[in-house]
């Protein structure tokens, strides 16, 4: 999981998640991560700081990446094709066939309904003002303090963790406290949203990315202050979102249309 959607909701009135599918369709071709073969939090944050991402209403998650998209037309590179607006933000509905440079040449539906899909060239996008790391490698106390301060002041953070089958398949809803793994075992990232204490045991509250069917409706608890799962080893990230595009709509400078945002006259 990653924390930017929650942070976007604080300065913004939106309740949307960022479009992970838009990232998967394009980012690896621009040198950020490896699509469905993995990547790091830094890949997402650096990509968003440079290019921005629309929200999930633009393109719903399909658990695929650029390798599953159609081949580019002659003369186009993979990046030009897969990072085209149709693979970043798209609308489909029965209507008159559109004569726009972003319209698809494919008729995806019944000819009588003239069902048609087209790319949205100017959607609302979210970028970053800044991002960075939280905590100190090798200093659990300093990391705990920094993590709590960042979450309290600005919202959820993302932390790298080390987990194996005991966590993946054996988490039973309690406070997970495995301290046997090391930094060499780090292989996953989760969103840390808060903390608490039960029966004298301090813990973090974190959101996994495996769906609501896992854990406590997608969340879990991990012991705090003992570097369980290597969560307090300084490999956490924060991000400060830029919601200026959305704000330009809310303050009346821009208005949405079937082709995205247009400036109000």
- Domains in the chain, please, with CATH? 4-126+241-263 (no CATH), 136-233 (3.90.70.10)
Position 73 scores a pLDDT of: 86
Catalytic residues: 188, 208
Please say whether the beta carbons of 46 and 108 come within 8 A: no
For 223-260, the pLDDT digits (tens) are 999 999 999 999 999 999 999 999 999 999 999 998 89
For 166-219, the pLDDT digits (tens) are 999 999 999 999 999 999 999 999 999 999 999 999 999 999 989 899 999 999
Strands (E), the chain: 53-54, 90-94, 115-119, 125-134, 157-162, 175-176, 186-198, 201-207, 219-223, 236-242, 254-257, 260-263
Give the C-alpha separation, 59 to 3, whole Å.
19
pTM over 0.75: yes
Give the C-alpha separation, 119 to 121, whole Å.
6
For 132-153, the pLDDT digits (tens) are 999 999 999 999 999 999 999 9
């Amino acid at each position: 999981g990653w924390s930017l959607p929650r942070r976007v909701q604080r300065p913004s009135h939106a309740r949307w998640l960022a479009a992970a599918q838009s990232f998967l369709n394009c980012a690896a071709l621009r040198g950020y991560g490896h699509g469905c073969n993995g990547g790091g939090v830094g890949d997402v944050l650096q990509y968003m700081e440079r290019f921005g991402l629309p929200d999930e209403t633009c393109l719903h998650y399909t658990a695929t990446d650029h390798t599953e998209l159609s081949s580019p037309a002659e003369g186009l590179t993979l990046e030009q094709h897969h990072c085209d607006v149709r693979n970043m933000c798209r609308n489909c509905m029965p209507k008159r066939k559109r004569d726009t440079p972003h319209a698809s040449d494919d008729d995806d539906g019944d000819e009588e309904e003239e069902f048609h899909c087209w790319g949205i060239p100017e959607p609302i996008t979210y970028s970053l003002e800044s991002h960075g790391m939280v905590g100190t490698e090798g200093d659990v106390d300093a990391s705990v303090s920094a993590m709590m301060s960042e979450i309290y002041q600005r919202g959820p953070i993302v932390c790298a963790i080390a987990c194996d089958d005991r966590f993946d398949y054996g988490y039973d809803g309690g406070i997970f406290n495995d301290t046997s793994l090391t930094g060499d075992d780090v292989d996953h990232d989760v969103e840390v949203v808060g903390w608490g204490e039960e029966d004298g045991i301090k813990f973090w509250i974190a959101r996994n990315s495996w769906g609501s069917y896992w854990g406590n409706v997608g969340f879990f608890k991990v012991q705090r202050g003992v570097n369980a799962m290597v969560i307090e080893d300084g490999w956490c990230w924060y991000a400060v979102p830029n919601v200026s595009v959305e704000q330009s709509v809310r303050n009346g400078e821009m208005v949405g249309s079937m082709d995205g945002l247009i400036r109000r006259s």
